[in-house]
């Protein structure tokens, strides 16, 4: 039986984690879980979500990650992305007024229901969110770096970063599949 390929994507709010995850899922036929979606649900339920060093360590004790992708996006790009981001609350579909607007302003393309902007996506909340992310993520990033599984990508546009991520994943997944075949060959 082939080994599961386990990967995580880290990045500040608005860095493109959801977009990259969807592209990975489409390109490689994989499933993904949106931490942002589950984080918002867990905040409502007051249960929290694994984003700290102790939680990452606990995850490591359960599952060994094969790869961690870290997205490094300049502050100004994040500010623009988040201030233009609107969400359909029922499905989690994300629209960006700058480069992926809905067909009808303020309405979801599929249901026609109203879109919302999360309070934490508004410019006045962004600095605090980015500071918090940096403080919490640094030790987690250092952990994955020390394990040799961290791969960082920098840029301002997801479309420019994606080919590099796609190439990395193609290589890593092909290598893992080859290793699994060699391991199970009689």
The 10s digit of each residue's pLDDT in 139-159 is: 999 999 999 999 999 999 889
What is the assigned CATH class of domain 7-178? Answer: alpha beta
pLDDT for 119: 85
Write out the DSSP string of 104-157. Answer: STTB-TTT-PBPB--GGGSHHHHHHHHHHHHHHHHHHHHHHHHTT-EEEEE-S-
Residue 5 DSSP label: P
**Distance (Å, rounded) from C-alpha 91 to C-alpha 123?**
24
Residue 94 has pLDDT above 70, yes or no: yes
**Distance (Å, rounded) from C-alpha 63 to C-alpha 112?**
40
pTM here is 0.77
pLDDT for 28: 86
Q: pLDDT (tens digit, 9 = 90+) per residue, 55-87?
A: 888 877 888 889 999 999 998 888 888 888 899
Backbone phi and psi for residue 107, each to the nearest 5 degrees, phi listed first: -125, 140
Please count the CA atoms within 13 angstroms of the CA of 147 that sit on its side-chain side. 17
**Distance (Å, rounded) from C-alpha 9 to C-alpha 176?**
19
Q: pLDDT (tens digit, 9 = 90+) per residue, 101-130?
A: 999 999 999 999 999 998 888 777 888 888
Structure confidence at residue 36 as a pLDDT band (50, 70, 90): low
Comparing C-alpha atoms, which of 71, 78, 96 is closest to residue 17?
71
pLDDT for 174: 76
Residue 184 has pLDDT above 60, yes or no: no
Comparing C-alpha atoms, which of 104, 102, 118, 105 is closest to residue 13?
118
**Distance (Å, rounded) from C-alpha 169 to C-alpha 117?**
32
**Distance (Å, rounded) from C-alpha 30 to C-alpha 180?**
18
* CA-CA-CA-CA torsion sign (137, 72, 43, 23): negative
């Amino acid at each position: 039986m082939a080994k599961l390929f386990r990967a995580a994507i880290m990045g500040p709010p608005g860095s493109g984690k959801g977009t990259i995850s969807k592209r990975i899922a489409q390109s490689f036929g994989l499933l993904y879980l949106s931490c942002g979606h589950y984080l918002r649900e867990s905040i409502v339920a007051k249960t929290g979500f694994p984003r700290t060093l102790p939680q990452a360590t606990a995850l490591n004790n359960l599952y060994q990650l094969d790869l961690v992708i870290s997205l490094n996006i300049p502050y100004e790009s994040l500010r623009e992305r988040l201030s233009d981001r609107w969400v359909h609350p029922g499905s989690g579909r994300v629209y960006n007024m700058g480069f992926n607007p809905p067909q009808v302003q303020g309405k979801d393309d599929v249901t026609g229901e109203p879109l919302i902007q999360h309070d934490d996506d508004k410019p006045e909340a962004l600095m605090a969110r980015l500071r918090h992310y940096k403080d919490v993520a640094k030790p987690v990033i250092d952990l994955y770096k020390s394990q040799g599984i961290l791969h960082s990508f920098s840029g301002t546009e997801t479309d420019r970063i994606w080919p590099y991520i796609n190439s990395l994943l193609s290589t890593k997944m092909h290598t893992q599949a080859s290793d699994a075949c060699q391991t199970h060959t009689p």
